[in-house]
Amino acid sequence: RQSSDGEHQQSHQTIQPPPLFARECCLHDHSKYITMLIEIGAPCSLPLGVVRTREGTTRLVGVSLQHPPMDVFAEASPAFSITGPMAHKGFAYAQRFLAHHGLPQQANIEIELTTPDLMGLGAETLLGLSVARALAWVGGLPTDDALALAHAIGLGPEQALEIWAFQQGGFLLADAQHLEAPPRRHAIAHTDHEQAWGFVFLLPRIALDAPETLEADRLKILLEAAPHLSPETERLTDEELWPALEGDDLSAFGHGLMAIQQLNRQALADAGMSLPFTTAEQVVLDLFRDRGAVAWGRSPTGMALFGLVRGASASDELRHHLSQLVGIYGGRVMATITDNVGARQALHERRPAG
Protein backbone atom coordinates (compact mmCIF):
# COMPACT_ATOMS: atom_id res chain seq x y z
CA ARG A 1 0.00 0.00 0.00
CA GLN A 2 1.49 3.33 -1.11
CA SER A 3 0.95 6.76 0.39
CA SER A 4 2.06 10.18 -0.84
CA ASP A 5 4.78 10.49 1.76
CA GLY A 6 6.30 7.04 1.61
CA GLU A 7 5.74 3.34 1.69
CA HIS A 8 4.01 1.29 4.38
CA GLN A 9 6.23 -1.69 5.11
CA GLN A 10 5.05 -4.62 7.21
CA SER A 11 6.89 -5.06 10.50
CA HIS A 12 7.03 -8.49 12.10
CA GLN A 13 7.89 -7.26 15.59
CA THR A 14 5.56 -7.69 18.57
CA ILE A 15 2.85 -5.05 18.64
CA GLN A 16 3.88 -2.34 21.12
CA PRO A 17 3.04 1.34 21.53
CA PRO A 18 5.51 3.66 19.78
CA PRO A 19 8.47 4.62 22.01
CA LEU A 20 8.16 8.03 23.64
CA PHE A 21 11.19 9.38 21.73
CA ALA A 22 9.77 8.26 18.42
CA ARG A 23 6.41 9.83 19.19
CA GLU A 24 8.06 13.08 20.22
CA CYS A 25 10.04 13.08 16.99
CA CYS A 26 6.85 12.58 15.05
CA LEU A 27 5.25 15.56 16.75
CA HIS A 28 8.24 17.85 16.16
CA ASP A 29 9.00 17.10 12.51
CA HIS A 30 7.10 14.27 10.92
CA SER A 31 9.05 14.47 7.65
CA LYS A 32 12.52 13.60 9.04
CA TYR A 33 11.89 10.36 10.89
CA ILE A 34 10.69 6.84 10.33
CA THR A 35 7.30 6.77 12.02
CA MET A 36 5.08 3.87 12.97
CA LEU A 37 1.46 3.26 12.07
CA ILE A 38 -0.93 0.70 13.40
CA GLU A 39 -3.42 -1.07 11.17
CA ILE A 40 -6.62 -2.50 12.65
CA GLY A 41 -8.63 -4.99 10.61
CA ALA A 42 -12.00 -6.16 11.92
CA PRO A 43 -14.61 -8.68 10.74
CA CYS A 44 -18.26 -7.83 10.29
CA SER A 45 -21.00 -9.30 12.46
CA LEU A 46 -24.22 -10.77 11.08
CA PRO A 47 -26.99 -11.06 13.70
CA LEU A 48 -29.28 -14.00 13.10
CA GLY A 49 -31.92 -13.40 15.75
CA VAL A 50 -32.71 -13.29 19.44
CA VAL A 51 -32.98 -16.24 21.81
CA ARG A 52 -35.10 -16.09 24.95
CA THR A 53 -34.18 -18.48 27.76
CA ARG A 54 -36.60 -20.11 30.17
CA GLU A 55 -35.19 -17.82 32.88
CA GLY A 56 -36.08 -14.76 30.81
CA THR A 57 -32.58 -13.85 29.65
CA THR A 58 -32.27 -12.28 26.20
CA ARG A 59 -29.39 -13.46 24.05
CA LEU A 60 -28.26 -12.37 20.61
CA VAL A 61 -27.22 -15.07 18.16
CA GLY A 62 -24.96 -14.25 15.25
CA VAL A 63 -21.84 -15.03 13.29
CA SER A 64 -18.58 -13.16 12.64
CA LEU A 65 -17.68 -12.97 8.94
CA GLN A 66 -14.49 -12.06 7.10
CA HIS A 67 -16.20 -9.79 4.58
CA PRO A 68 -17.13 -7.01 4.19
CA PRO A 69 -14.40 -5.95 6.66
CA MET A 70 -13.20 -2.83 8.45
CA ASP A 71 -9.66 -1.46 7.98
CA VAL A 72 -8.28 1.51 9.93
CA PHE A 73 -4.78 3.06 10.15
CA ALA A 74 -3.54 5.44 12.84
CA GLU A 75 -0.37 7.25 13.90
CA ALA A 76 0.71 9.95 16.33
CA SER A 77 0.31 13.47 14.96
CA PRO A 78 0.66 17.07 16.22
CA ALA A 79 -3.09 17.58 15.74
CA PHE A 80 -6.14 15.39 15.44
CA SER A 81 -7.62 14.33 12.11
CA ILE A 82 -9.78 11.50 10.84
CA THR A 83 -10.56 10.84 7.19
CA GLY A 84 -12.28 8.21 5.09
CA PRO A 85 -15.77 6.69 4.84
CA MET A 86 -17.98 7.18 7.92
CA ALA A 87 -15.41 9.65 9.28
CA HIS A 88 -18.11 11.65 11.08
CA LYS A 89 -19.10 8.56 13.08
CA GLY A 90 -15.48 7.63 13.69
CA PHE A 91 -14.84 11.17 14.93
CA ALA A 92 -17.61 10.90 17.53
CA TYR A 93 -16.21 7.62 18.88
CA ALA A 94 -12.67 9.03 18.89
CA GLN A 95 -13.76 12.02 20.97
CA ARG A 96 -15.46 9.76 23.49
CA PHE A 97 -12.36 7.59 23.81
CA LEU A 98 -9.94 10.50 24.20
CA ALA A 99 -12.18 12.20 26.75
CA HIS A 100 -12.65 8.99 28.73
CA HIS A 101 -8.89 8.54 29.11
CA GLY A 102 -7.94 12.21 29.23
CA LEU A 103 -5.67 11.83 26.20
CA PRO A 104 -4.53 14.74 24.00
CA GLN A 105 -5.97 15.29 20.53
CA GLN A 106 -2.81 14.06 18.82
CA ALA A 107 -3.54 11.34 16.29
CA ASN A 108 -4.10 10.95 12.58
CA ILE A 109 -6.66 8.26 11.69
CA GLU A 110 -7.33 7.02 8.18
CA ILE A 111 -10.41 4.87 7.65
CA GLU A 112 -9.25 2.87 4.66
CA LEU A 113 -12.27 0.57 4.35
CA THR A 114 -15.57 0.18 6.17
CA THR A 115 -18.24 -2.46 6.40
CA PRO A 116 -21.22 -0.88 4.59
CA ASP A 117 -23.49 0.98 6.97
CA LEU A 118 -27.23 0.27 7.39
CA MET A 119 -26.81 -3.33 6.21
CA GLY A 120 -27.17 -4.82 9.69
CA LEU A 121 -23.55 -5.99 9.84
CA GLY A 122 -22.43 -3.97 12.85
CA ALA A 123 -20.55 -1.33 10.87
CA GLU A 124 -20.88 1.56 13.31
CA THR A 125 -19.99 -0.42 16.42
CA LEU A 126 -17.05 -2.16 14.76
CA LEU A 127 -15.77 1.17 13.46
CA GLY A 128 -15.95 2.59 16.97
CA LEU A 129 -14.01 -0.34 18.40
CA SER A 130 -11.40 -0.13 15.61
CA VAL A 131 -10.88 3.59 16.20
CA ALA A 132 -10.68 3.01 19.96
CA ARG A 133 -8.05 0.28 19.58
CA ALA A 134 -6.01 2.48 17.24
CA LEU A 135 -6.12 5.41 19.68
CA ALA A 136 -5.25 3.12 22.58
CA TRP A 137 -2.06 2.15 20.78
CA VAL A 138 -1.20 5.76 19.95
CA GLY A 139 -1.79 6.67 23.59
CA GLY A 140 0.30 3.81 24.98
CA LEU A 141 -2.70 1.97 26.46
CA PRO A 142 -3.56 -1.75 26.27
CA THR A 143 -5.27 -2.70 23.02
CA ASP A 144 -6.39 -6.29 23.55
CA ASP A 145 -9.47 -5.87 25.79
CA ALA A 146 -12.56 -5.22 23.69
CA LEU A 147 -14.73 -4.79 26.79
CA ALA A 148 -12.51 -1.96 28.03
CA LEU A 149 -12.57 -0.32 24.60
CA ALA A 150 -16.36 -0.68 24.49
CA HIS A 151 -16.72 0.91 27.92
CA ALA A 152 -14.53 3.85 26.89
CA ILE A 153 -16.74 4.68 23.88
CA GLY A 154 -20.06 4.11 25.61
CA LEU A 155 -21.21 0.80 24.18
CA GLY A 156 -23.65 -1.35 26.11
CA PRO A 157 -24.79 -4.99 26.26
CA GLU A 158 -27.10 -4.49 23.29
CA GLN A 159 -23.90 -4.32 21.20
CA ALA A 160 -22.54 -7.54 22.76
CA LEU A 161 -22.57 -9.45 19.48
CA GLU A 162 -20.28 -6.95 17.71
CA ILE A 163 -18.04 -6.47 20.75
CA TRP A 164 -17.37 -10.19 21.10
CA ALA A 165 -16.99 -10.57 17.34
CA PHE A 166 -14.28 -7.91 17.56
CA GLN A 167 -12.67 -9.70 20.50
CA GLN A 168 -12.64 -13.28 19.25
CA GLY A 169 -14.87 -13.93 16.22
CA GLY A 170 -16.80 -17.16 15.76
CA PHE A 171 -20.45 -18.14 15.94
CA LEU A 172 -21.73 -16.42 19.07
CA LEU A 173 -24.57 -16.53 21.55
CA ALA A 174 -24.12 -13.30 23.52
CA ASP A 175 -25.98 -12.01 26.57
CA ALA A 176 -27.83 -8.83 25.56
CA GLN A 177 -28.31 -7.76 29.18
CA HIS A 178 -24.92 -8.41 30.81
CA LEU A 179 -21.96 -7.39 28.67
CA GLU A 180 -19.31 -8.93 30.92
CA ALA A 181 -20.85 -12.41 30.59
CA PRO A 182 -18.64 -14.39 28.16
CA PRO A 183 -20.61 -15.59 25.14
CA ARG A 184 -21.15 -19.18 24.12
CA ARG A 185 -18.91 -19.59 21.10
CA HIS A 186 -18.11 -22.08 18.36
CA ALA A 187 -15.52 -21.74 15.60
CA ILE A 188 -16.77 -22.83 12.16
CA ALA A 189 -13.83 -24.43 10.36
CA HIS A 190 -13.12 -23.67 6.70
CA THR A 191 -9.84 -25.38 5.83
CA ASP A 192 -11.42 -27.09 2.80
CA HIS A 193 -12.98 -24.60 0.39
CA GLU A 194 -15.52 -27.11 -0.84
CA GLN A 195 -16.67 -27.87 2.71
CA ALA A 196 -16.65 -24.32 4.08
CA TRP A 197 -19.90 -22.70 5.17
CA GLY A 198 -20.41 -19.80 2.76
CA PHE A 199 -22.63 -16.77 3.22
CA VAL A 200 -23.77 -15.15 -0.03
CA PHE A 201 -24.88 -11.55 0.38
CA LEU A 202 -26.93 -9.03 -1.48
CA LEU A 203 -26.15 -5.61 -0.05
CA PRO A 204 -28.89 -3.54 -1.69
CA ARG A 205 -28.67 0.08 -2.66
CA ILE A 206 -29.66 2.42 0.16
CA ALA A 207 -32.68 4.64 -0.37
CA LEU A 208 -31.95 8.35 -0.09
CA ASP A 209 -34.49 8.70 2.72
CA ALA A 210 -33.11 5.80 4.81
CA PRO A 211 -32.39 7.08 8.33
CA GLU A 212 -28.80 6.97 9.62
CA THR A 213 -30.16 5.29 12.74
CA LEU A 214 -31.73 2.37 10.85
CA GLU A 215 -29.53 -0.30 12.45
CA ALA A 216 -29.95 1.08 15.97
CA ASP A 217 -33.70 1.46 15.45
CA ARG A 218 -34.13 -2.12 14.26
CA LEU A 219 -31.97 -3.49 17.06
CA LYS A 220 -34.12 -1.60 19.59
CA ILE A 221 -37.28 -3.08 18.08
CA LEU A 222 -35.78 -6.58 18.09
CA LEU A 223 -34.86 -6.38 21.77
CA GLU A 224 -38.18 -4.81 22.74
CA ALA A 225 -39.97 -7.75 21.12
CA ALA A 226 -37.86 -10.29 23.04
CA PRO A 227 -40.42 -10.78 25.87
CA HIS A 228 -42.82 -12.08 23.21
CA LEU A 229 -40.35 -14.76 22.12
CA SER A 230 -41.02 -18.38 22.90
CA PRO A 231 -38.42 -20.24 25.02
CA GLU A 232 -38.54 -22.69 22.10
CA THR A 233 -35.74 -20.53 20.72
CA GLU A 234 -33.52 -21.76 23.55
CA ARG A 235 -34.40 -25.40 22.84
CA LEU A 236 -33.66 -24.92 19.15
CA THR A 237 -30.29 -23.38 20.00
CA ASP A 238 -29.32 -26.10 22.47
CA GLU A 239 -30.71 -29.12 20.66
CA GLU A 240 -30.38 -28.18 16.98
CA LEU A 241 -27.97 -25.31 16.31
CA TRP A 242 -25.16 -26.30 18.64
CA PRO A 243 -25.11 -30.04 17.84
CA ALA A 244 -25.16 -29.08 14.14
CA LEU A 245 -22.21 -26.72 14.64
CA GLU A 246 -20.25 -29.37 16.52
CA GLY A 247 -21.07 -32.05 13.94
CA ASP A 248 -20.56 -29.81 10.89
CA ASP A 249 -24.13 -30.62 9.86
CA LEU A 250 -25.07 -27.66 7.66
CA SER A 251 -28.55 -28.94 6.79
CA ALA A 252 -29.52 -29.39 10.43
CA PHE A 253 -28.08 -25.98 11.25
CA GLY A 254 -30.10 -24.40 8.45
CA HIS A 255 -33.28 -26.06 9.68
CA GLY A 256 -32.77 -24.77 13.22
CA LEU A 257 -31.83 -21.29 12.06
CA MET A 258 -34.92 -20.96 9.85
CA ALA A 259 -37.09 -21.96 12.82
CA ILE A 260 -35.45 -19.37 15.07
CA GLN A 261 -35.89 -16.66 12.45
CA GLN A 262 -39.59 -17.54 12.10
CA LEU A 263 -40.07 -17.32 15.87
CA ASN A 264 -38.36 -13.91 15.85
CA ARG A 265 -40.70 -12.67 13.12
CA GLN A 266 -43.67 -13.97 15.11
CA ALA A 267 -42.48 -12.15 18.24
CA LEU A 268 -42.19 -8.90 16.28
CA ALA A 269 -45.73 -9.41 14.97
CA ASP A 270 -47.08 -10.16 18.45
CA ALA A 271 -45.43 -6.97 19.70
CA GLY A 272 -47.01 -4.96 16.88
CA MET A 273 -43.61 -4.19 15.32
CA SER A 274 -43.51 -6.36 12.19
CA LEU A 275 -40.85 -5.66 9.57
CA PRO A 276 -42.22 -7.56 6.55
CA PHE A 277 -40.11 -8.31 3.51
CA THR A 278 -40.61 -6.09 0.49
CA THR A 279 -41.58 -7.69 -2.80
CA ALA A 280 -38.02 -7.23 -4.10
CA GLU A 281 -36.55 -8.80 -0.97
CA GLN A 282 -38.89 -11.79 -1.21
CA VAL A 283 -37.83 -12.42 -4.82
CA VAL A 284 -34.17 -12.58 -3.70
CA LEU A 285 -34.97 -14.85 -0.75
CA ASP A 286 -36.96 -17.15 -3.03
CA LEU A 287 -33.93 -17.39 -5.32
CA PHE A 288 -31.72 -18.37 -2.37
CA ARG A 289 -34.21 -21.10 -1.45
CA ASP A 290 -34.63 -22.38 -5.01
CA ARG A 291 -30.88 -22.41 -5.71
CA GLY A 292 -29.91 -24.65 -2.83
CA ALA A 293 -29.34 -22.46 0.23
CA VAL A 294 -30.00 -24.30 3.50
CA ALA A 295 -31.00 -21.04 5.20
CA TRP A 296 -31.78 -17.54 4.02
CA GLY A 297 -33.01 -14.29 5.45
CA ARG A 298 -32.48 -10.60 6.08
CA SER A 299 -30.28 -9.23 8.81
CA PRO A 300 -32.74 -8.37 11.60
CA THR A 301 -30.93 -5.08 12.16
CA GLY A 302 -30.47 -3.92 8.56
CA MET A 303 -30.95 -4.43 4.86
CA ALA A 304 -28.46 -7.21 3.97
CA LEU A 305 -29.99 -10.36 2.49
CA PHE A 306 -28.11 -13.64 2.86
CA GLY A 307 -28.16 -17.25 1.79
CA LEU A 308 -26.11 -20.01 3.43
CA VAL A 309 -24.50 -22.75 1.31
CA ARG A 310 -21.67 -25.24 1.55
CA GLY A 311 -18.53 -24.89 -0.55
CA ALA A 312 -16.94 -22.52 -3.04
CA SER A 313 -18.67 -24.05 -6.07
CA ALA A 314 -22.14 -23.64 -4.59
CA SER A 315 -21.26 -20.11 -3.52
CA ASP A 316 -20.04 -19.19 -7.01
CA GLU A 317 -23.17 -20.60 -8.61
CA LEU A 318 -25.50 -18.79 -6.23
CA ARG A 319 -23.68 -15.50 -6.74
CA HIS A 320 -23.97 -15.95 -10.51
CA HIS A 321 -27.74 -16.42 -10.37
CA LEU A 322 -28.12 -13.58 -7.88
CA SER A 323 -26.12 -11.20 -10.07
CA GLN A 324 -28.28 -12.10 -13.06
CA LEU A 325 -31.40 -11.41 -11.01
CA VAL A 326 -30.49 -8.00 -9.59
CA GLY A 327 -28.30 -6.66 -12.41
CA ILE A 328 -25.52 -4.12 -12.06
CA TYR A 329 -27.74 -1.54 -10.34
CA GLY A 330 -29.43 -3.84 -7.85
CA GLY A 331 -26.77 -3.78 -5.18
CA ARG A 332 -23.53 -5.47 -4.25
CA VAL A 333 -23.33 -9.26 -4.57
CA MET A 334 -20.57 -10.97 -2.61
CA ALA A 335 -19.72 -14.08 -0.61
CA THR A 336 -17.75 -14.68 2.55
CA ILE A 337 -16.80 -17.27 5.13
CA THR A 338 -16.72 -17.12 8.90
CA ASP A 339 -14.10 -15.31 10.96
CA ASN A 340 -12.75 -17.19 13.98
CA VAL A 341 -10.13 -14.69 15.19
CA GLY A 342 -11.71 -11.28 15.67
CA ALA A 343 -9.90 -8.01 15.05
CA ARG A 344 -6.28 -8.11 13.91
CA GLN A 345 -3.58 -5.49 14.29
CA ALA A 346 -0.19 -4.97 12.70
CA LEU A 347 2.54 -2.34 12.71
CA HIS A 348 3.85 -0.63 9.61
CA GLU A 349 6.77 1.74 9.05
CA ARG A 350 6.25 5.00 7.23
CA ARG A 351 9.58 6.09 5.74
CA PRO A 352 10.24 9.65 4.63
CA ALA A 353 10.00 10.21 0.88
CA GLY A 354 13.37 10.30 -0.82
Q: What is the pLDDT of residues 283-323, one digit of tens each?
A: 999 999 999 999 999 999 999 999 999 999 999 999 999 99
Examine the pLDDT at 251 and tell me if it is beyond 60.
yes
What residues contact 253, with CB distance under 8 A and at least 6 apart?
A: 240, 241, 244, 245, 294, 295, 308
Pick the range with the lowest mean pLDDT from 127-141, 180-194, 276-290: 180-194
Residue 267: pLDDT band (50, 70, 90) is very high
Predicted confidence at residue 289, as pLDDT, reads 98
Examine the pLDDT at 247 and tell me if it is beyond 80.
yes
Predicted confidence at residue 190, as pLDDT, reads 86
Predicted confidence at residue 249, as pLDDT, reads 97
- The residue-averaged pLDDT of 86-101 equals 98
Contact, 43 vs 169, CB < 8 A? yes
- The residue-averaged pLDDT of 203-216 equals 94
Partnered with residue 171 across adjacent β-strands are 63, 186
- The residue-averaged pLDDT of 48-62 equals 95
Residue 30: pLDDT band (50, 70, 90) is very low
Amino acid at the residue 170? G
Predicted confidence at residue 354, as pLDDT, reads 56
Examine the pLDDT at 25 and tell me if it is beyond 80.
no
Which of the pair, 62 or 19, is modelled with greater confidence?
Answer: 62
Element (H, E) at 238: none
Angstrom distance (rounded) from CA 103 to CA 95:
10
Average of per-residue pLDDT values in the chain: 91
Element (H, E) at 332: strand 332-336
Contact, 225 vs 271, CB < 8 A? yes
Angle at alpha carbon of residue 278, lines to 276 and 281, rounded to 5°: 110
Examine the pLDDT at 34 and tell me if it is beyond 80.
no
- The residue-averaged pLDDT of 163-192 equals 95
Examine the pLDDT at 31 and tell me if it is beyond 70.
no
Examine the pLDDT at 28 and tell me if it is beyond 70.
no
Predicted confidence at residue 351, as pLDDT, reads 73
Predicted confidence at residue 295, as pLDDT, reads 98
Amino acid at the residue 106? Q
Say what percent of the chain tops pLDDT 70. Answer: 90
Residue 191: pLDDT band (50, 70, 90) is confident
pTM of the model as a whole:
0.90
- In this structure, the chain runs to a length of 354
- The residue-averaged pLDDT of 86-93 equals 98
pLDDT per position as a tens digit, 332-344: 999 999 999 999 9
| Residues 210, 214, 218, 221, Cα dihedral to 10° | -90
Element (H, E) at 223: helix 214-224
Predicted confidence at residue 253, as pLDDT, reads 98
Say what percent of the chain tops pLDDT 90. Answer: 86
Predicted confidence at residue 32, as pLDDT, reads 59
- The residue-averaged pLDDT of 1-28 equals 37
Pick the range with the lowest mean pLDDT from 15-29, 123-137, 191-205: 15-29
Predicted confidence at residue 35, as pLDDT, reads 83
Examine the pLDDT at 11 and tell me if it is beyond 80.
no
Residue 261: pLDDT band (50, 70, 90) is very high
CB neighbours (10 Å) of residue 44? 27
Examine the pLDDT at 6 and tell me if it is beyond 80.
no
Predicted confidence at residue 33, as pLDDT, reads 67
What residues contact 126, with CB distance under 8 A and at least 6 apart?
A: 42, 43, 44, 45, 70, 115, 162, 165, 166
Angstrom distance (rounded) from CA 102 to CA 50:
37
Backbone phi, psi, residue 221, to 5°: -60, -45
Element (H, E) at 271: none
DSSP assignment, residue 158?
G
